[in-house]
Amino acid sequence: MRHRKAGRKLGRTTAHREMLLRNLLTSLFHYEKIVTTEAKAKELRKLADKVITLAKRGDLHARRQAAEVVQGEDVLKKLFDSIGSRYKDRNGGYTRLTKLEYRMGDGAPLAAIELAEVGAAVEPSAKPAKRRSRRGDKGKAPKPKPAEPLAAQPSGA
C-alpha cells in the first residue's frame, strides 16, 4: 500500500524521474511555457513553486539550493534576476496549468504549464476547450445530409 507516499512515480525509476523533472523545470524557466502530459505538469508545478520561492529569497544559500535542481547558469541567472523579482509580492500560485487535448499517438492527456502573469486578477475562465474522444474519428460514419426537395421542373420550352 502507498499510504502517505506523496508524488507520482510516472512509470520511471527514481533517478530517471528526478532528471525528467529537472529537465522540465529548466525548460519551464527558460521558455516560460511548455506542453507536457497532465501528470508530469502536476508534479512539475510543485517543484517550480518551491524553486521560485527560493528565487524570491535571493540569498546565496537559496541560489545554491536552486542550482541543485535547475540546470544551466543562464537559466539560474534568469530565475533569480527576473522571475524571482517578478513574484516578490505574490504568495504562491506562480504557475498556471491549462488542460489541452489528448496526444494523438497514445491518447495521453496533455497540459500546458506556464508562469502566471503578475498583477493579473485571477479570472474564472469559460468552459475549457472540448476534448476529443480517445477514439478520434475512427469508427464513426459521417452523418448523412438531409435530402433537399427537388424543385419543380417547368414543363415545355
Taking only the tens place, the pLDDT of each residue in 107-127 is 999 999 999 998 765 555 556
Q: Is the pLDDT of residue 47 over 90?
A: yes
Confidence of residue 22 (pLDDT cuts 50, 70, 90): very high
Rounded Cα distance, 13 and 7, in Å: 13
Q: Which contiguous run of DSSP H or E holds residue 95?
A: strand 95-102
Nearest to 99 by CA among 44, 39, 50: 39
Q: Is the pLDDT of residue 79 over 70?
A: yes
Query: Which residues, other chains included, contact 152 with Cβ-Cβ below 8 Å and sequence gap of 6+?
Result: none
Identity of residue 34: I
Residue 35 has a pLDDT of 97
What is the pTM assigned to this prediction?
Answer: 0.74
What are the chain's domains?
Answer: 14-115 (3.90.1030.10)
Please report where in the chains the cell 492527456 appears, as a residue: 109
Residue 63 has a pLDDT of 96
Rounded Cα distance, 139 and 120, in Å: 44
Residue 118 has a pLDDT of 82
